Chains A and B, each alone.
Chain A
Amino acid sequence: MVRVLHRLVLMVLVIWLAASINFLLPRMTDRDPIEERLAQALGDSGGSAIGIEEMVAEYQSKFGTDQPLWKQYISMMGDIAQFDLGVSINYFPDRVATHVMAALPWSIALLGTATLISFVIGTILGALTIWRRKSAWLARIVPLFMILAAIPFYLVGLVLVYVFSLSLGWFPPARGYGVGVNMDWSWTAIGNVIYHAILPAMSIVLAAIGIWALSMRGMMVTVQGEDYMNFARAKGLSNRRMFWRYAVRNAITPQITTLVLAFGTIVGGAILVERVFVYPGIGTLLYNSVLLVDYFLIFGCVFILILTVAVSLMILDLLYPLLDPRIRAGGEQHG
Chain B
Amino acid sequence: MHAVVSRGLTVKDLSIVFETDDGVVEAVRGISFDVQPGERLGFVGESGSGKTTTALSLMGMIDPPGRVVSGSAMLGDLDLLTLSPREHAARRLVDIAYIPQGAMNSLNPVMRVGEQVEDGMIDHGADLNKAARKARVAELLRQVDLDPSVARLFPHELSGGMKQRVAIAIAIALNPKLLIADEPTSALDVISQRQVMQTLRRVQDEMGASLILIGHDMGLMAQFADRIMVLRRGLLVEAGPVRQIFRAPQDAYTRELIDSVPALERRPATAPPVVREASKAAEPPVIALEGVSKTYKRGLFDRKGNQALKPLTFSMASGTPMIVSVVGQSGSGKSTLGSLLLGFIRPSEGRVLAQGRDMHGLSAAERRERYRTVQAVFQDPYAAYNPFYKVDHGLAEPLRNFGVATRRDDILAKMRSACELVGLDPDQTIHRFAHQLSGGQRQRLMVGRAMMLGPKLLVADEPVSMVDASLRSSILGNLRKMKDDLGVAIIYITHDLATAYEVSDYVLVLYRGRVVEAGDPERVIKEPQHPYTRLLVASIPWPDPDRHWHGDDAAEAELAALDGAGAPAPCLVRSTLPGFTLKV
Contact = CB atoms under 8 A, between A and B. Distances in A.
A227 B102 contact: yes
A249 B108 CA distance: 10
Contacts of A245: 108, 111, 119
Interface in A298-333: 323-326, 328-332
Contact of A236 (B89, B106, B156): B89
Contact of B98 (A228, A231, A237, A332): A231
B106 A237 contact: no
B170 interface: yes
Contacts of A332: 298-299
Interface in B103-125: 104-111, 119-120, 123-124
Interface in A218-243: 226-228, 230-238, 241
Contact of B299 (A232, A249, A330): A330
B302 interface: yes
B107 A329 contact: no
B100 interface: yes
A228 B61 contact: no
Contact of B120 (A237, A246, A325, A326): A237
B110 A250 contact: yes
Contacts of B298: 330-332, 334
Contacts of A235: 92-93, 97-98, 119-120, 123, 170
Nearest to A249: B110
B109 A325 contact: yes
Interface in B63-97: 88-94, 97
A324 B155 CA distance: 12
Nearest to B298: A331
Contacts of B170: 231, 235
B107 A231 contact: yes
Interface residues of A, number: 29
Interface in A33-47: none
B156 A329 contact: yes
A324 B120 contact: no
Given A2-B301, A232-B108, A245-B111, A326 B93 contact: no
Interface in B294-337: 296-299, 301-302, 308, 335
A241 B119 contact: yes
Nearest to A233: B61
B256 interface: no
B453 interface: no
Contacts of B308: 334
A235 B173 CA distance: 10
B107 A236 contact: no
Contact of B108 (A238, A246, A323, A329): A246
A233 B108 CA distance: 12
B349 interface: no
A58 B446 CA distance: 78
B436 to A, nearest CB: 20
B98 A234 contact: yes
B383 to A, nearest CB: 14
A140 B123 CA distance: 33
Contacts of B93: 235-236
A180 interface: no
B110 A236 contact: no
A228 B119 contact: no
Contacts of B124: 236
Contacts of B239: none
A237 B119 contact: yes
Contacts of A227: 100-102, 104-106
A231 B100 contact: yes
Given A228-B106, A228-B109, A237 B100 contact: no
A68 interface: no
A51 interface: no
Interface in B128-156: 154, 156
Contacts of B19: none
A43 B284 CA distance: 89
Given A324-B110, A331-B302, A234 B59 contact: yes
- What secondary structure prevails in chain A residues at the interface with B? helix
Contacts of A238: 123
B94 A231 contact: no
A335 interface: yes
A102 B100 CA distance: 59
A332 B305 CA distance: 12
B92 A228 contact: no
A322 to B, nearest CB: 10
Contacts of A325: 109-110, 154, 156
B167 interface: yes
Given A330-B298, A331-B298, A332-B298, A234 B61 contact: yes
B123 A236 contact: yes
A226 B124 CA distance: 23
Contacts of B108: 228, 232, 245-246, 249-250
B333 to A, nearest CB: 12
Contact of A228 (B90, B105, B120): B105
Contacts of A234: 59, 61, 92, 97-98, 100
Contacts of A2: 301
Contacts of B107: 228, 231
A283 B108 CA distance: 43
A176 B89 CA distance: 54
Most B C-beta atoms less than 10 A away, residue of A228, A230, A235, A332: A235
A250 B120 contact: no
A272 to B, nearest CB: 37
Nearest to A324: B110
Nearest to B301: A2
B397 interface: no
B557 to A, nearest CB: 31
Nearest to A3: B299
Contacts of B119: 235, 237, 241, 245
Nearest to B124: A236
Given A238-B123, A245-B119, A231 B157 contact: no
A324 B110 CA distance: 6
A335 B106 contact: no
Nearest to B344: A335
Contact of A335 (B299, B301, B335): B335
Contact of B157 (A232, A241, A324, A329): A329
Nearest to A234: B98
A307 to B, nearest CB: 28
A269 to B, nearest CB: 30
A326 B111 CA distance: 11
B123 A230 contact: no
A174 B13 CA distance: 73
A329 B522 CA distance: 43
A323 B109 CA distance: 11
Contacts of B90: 236
A69 B110 CA distance: 53
A258 B110 CA distance: 19
A331 B61 contact: no
A6 to B, nearest CB: 9
Nearest to B182: A234
A250 B111 CA distance: 10
Contacts of B335: 335
B521 to A, nearest CB: 28
A238 B92 CA distance: 11
30 contacts: A2-B301, A227-B101, A227-B104, A227-B106, A228-B105, A228-B107, A230-B100, A230-B106, A231-B100, A231-B106, A231-B170, A234-B59, A234-B61, A234-B100, A235-B120, A235-B170, A236-B88, A236-B90, A236-B94, A245-B111, A250-B110, A324-B109, A325-B156, A326-B109, A326-B156, A330-B299, A331-B297, A331-B302, A334-B296, A335-B335
6 cross-chain pairs, A with B, having the tightest CB-CB distances, nearest first: A236-B92, A331-B298, A331-B299, A234-B98, A227-B105, A325-B154
Given A231-B98, A235-B123, 17 more contacts: A227-B101, A227-B106, A231-B170, A234-B100, A236-B88, A236-B91, A236-B94, A236-B123, A249-B110, A250-B109, A250-B110, A325-B156, A326-B154, A326-B156, A329-B156, A331-B299, A334-B298
